């Protein structure tokens, strides 16, 4: 994409300033709008710190860092978007607010501009439906922190034109990112497929099979994950993680596979939101006693097998329902949430028949639709097929 192209960003929160930094680093003039003056001031300070930290690590020279900052202009209204060929909305996850924002954008931007939303789980089609020209609306979902995370999900609405899909992919690739294409279904690829990483860990905890420290130990030391599910929920924010789970659950017509956890809901109600509040599943006070895992390899193997099986089943179902290709599903989970390997590759290594048997054993024990096996896995096992 031509670096003379102007980029607009709506929302100066963490994602907004991250996307602005990515676009400015690629050489674009960026207009960053937020209607809250205090948010703009705080965002400007954070952005400056982020860029200066990169310079201190010798990844940029001081002139390069200054040039990136100089390309970003904070705006108190959206008038500057009149010259923008792409505007990315990155405000709170509220459908009504997003639709209202897009209504305002359509009045300002040129008719040739692409309007994108960074939503992580809301319907792109619903957002587009409120626009006069829905064919130019598309989902461009970055992951946090946007400057560091390589993956970007491109999600067309039903109304999105093929030209806009291609343009969105080309723009993001020109920024040095890797794109995957996802159908407009709840959670898209990553936030859909990753749900069992949290929900099944919570289920194991609530059943009393193991404490959260043991589950985290098993998933890191035996499963190869960089963070355990409880560490990661604390890092993301219990409120944020719970809201995504709740949204996906409601959007899937209350499918029990995505049912939220009371344990997590109670943490949110208590204000124990994780690292940002000083306490979540873990207590982050410097004097707090750290919970010790039970380092039992047999128990750890059972924990990893159960959670990974649920993850591979969810990944296979995403392919079965044409949410994305098998290649994009595996790419999304390795680049988007740093899984140690692609889940469908993992299913091949475990053995498709073994995955099916484990799912069926869980279903036979619990008799819950939560543990239904993907039809794709069952078909592949019958035909002795592999994903790769």
| pLDDT tens per residue across span 305-353 | 999 999 999 999 999 999 999 999 999 999 999 999 999 999 999 999 9
What are the structure tokens assigned to 64, written together?
A: 């390069």
Residue 8's pLDDT band (boundaries 50, 70, 90)? very high
Global pTM value: 0.95
Whether residue 21 is contained in a domain is answered as yes
Q: How many CB atoms lie within 10 A of CB 253?
A: 8
Range of the domain at 324: 192-383
Out of 150, 181, 212, a domain closes at: 181
Annotated catalytic residue, options 6, 141, 241, 314: 141
C-alpha 123/C-alpha 257 separation (Å) is 19
11 conformational bin, left if phi > 0, alpha if psi -120 to 50, beta if neither: left
Annotated catalytic residue, options 89, 153, 200, 231: 153
**Is 6 designated active site?**
no
- Give the residues across from 152 on adjacent strands: 142, 179
Annotated catalytic residue, options 120, 123, 199, 313: 120
- Say if residues 76 and 37 touch (Cβ distance below 8 Å): yes
**Is 191 designated active site?**
yes
Number of domains in the chain: 2
Out of 161, 181, 201, a domain closes at: 181
Q: Are residues 231 and 377 in the same domain?
A: yes
Instruction: Write down the H helix ranges in 109-194.
Output: 124-129, 162-174, 190-193
Q: Are residues 197 and 143 in the same domain?
A: no
Q: Are residues 351 and 206 in the same domain?
A: yes
**Is 89 designated active site?**
no
Residue 1, pLDDT > 70, answer: no
Q: Are residues 230 and 162 in the same domain?
A: no
Whether residue 44 is contained in a domain is answered as yes
- Say if residues 105 and 87 touch (Cβ distance below 8 Å): yes
**Is 313 designated active site?**
no
Domain of residue 251, CATH code: 1.10.1040.50
Q: Are residues 346 and 374 in the same domain?
A: yes
Whether residue 187 is contained in a domain is answered as no
pLDDT tens per residue, range 113-169: 999 999 998 999 999 999 999 999 999 999 999 999 999 999 999 999 999 999 999
Annotated catalytic residue, options 113, 121, 123, 191: 191
Whether residue 388 is contained in a domain is answered as no
């Amino acid at each position: 994409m031509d670096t003379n192209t102007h980029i607009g960003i709506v929302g100066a929160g963490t994602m907004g300033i991250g996307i602005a930094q990515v676009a400015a680093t690629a050489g674009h003039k960026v207009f960053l709008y937020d209607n809250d003056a205090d948010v703009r001031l705080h965002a400007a300070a954070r952005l400056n710190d982020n860029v200066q930290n990169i310079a201190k690590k010798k990844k940029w020279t001081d002139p390069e860092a200054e040039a990136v900052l100089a390309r970003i202009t904070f705006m108190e209204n959206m008038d500057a978007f009149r010259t923008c060929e792409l505007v990315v909305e990155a405000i709170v996850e509220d459908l009504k607010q997003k639709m209202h924002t897009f209504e305002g954008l359509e009045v300002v931007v040129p008719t040739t501009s692409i309007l994108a939303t960074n939503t992580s789980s809301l319907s792109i089609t619903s957002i587009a439906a409120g626009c006069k020209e829905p064919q130019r609306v598309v989902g461009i979902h970055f992951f946090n922190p946007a400057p560091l995370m390589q993956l970007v999900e491109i999600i067309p609405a039903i109304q999105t034109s093929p030209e806009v899909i291609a343009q969105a992919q080309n723009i993001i690739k020109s920024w040095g990112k890797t794109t995957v294409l996802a159908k407009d279904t709840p959670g898209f690829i990553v936030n859909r497929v990753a749900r069992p990483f949290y929900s099944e860990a919570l289920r194991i905890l609530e059943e009393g099979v193991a404490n959260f420290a043991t589950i985290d130990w098993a998933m890191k030391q035996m499963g190869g994950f960089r963070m355990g599910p409880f560490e990661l929920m604390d890092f993301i924010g219990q409120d944020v993680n719970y809201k995504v789970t709740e949204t996906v659950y409601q959007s899937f017509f209350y499918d029990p596979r995505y049912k939220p956890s009371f344990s997590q809901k109670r943490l949110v109600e208590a204000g124990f939101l994780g690292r940002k509040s000083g306490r979540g599943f873990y207590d982050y006070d410097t004097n707090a006693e750290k919970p010790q895992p039970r380092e039992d390899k047999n128990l750890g193997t059972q924990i990893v097998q159960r959670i990974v099986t649920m993850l591979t089943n969810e990944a296979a179902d995403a392919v079965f329902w044409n949410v994305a290709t098998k290649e994009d599903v595996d790419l999304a989970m390795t680049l988007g949430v740093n899984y140690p390997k692609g889940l469908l590759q993992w299913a091949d290594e475990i053995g498709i028949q073994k995955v099916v048997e484990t799912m069926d054993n869980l279903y036979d024990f619990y008799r819950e639709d939560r543990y239904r096996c993907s039809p794709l896995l069952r078909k592949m096992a019958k035909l002795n097929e592999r994903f790769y």
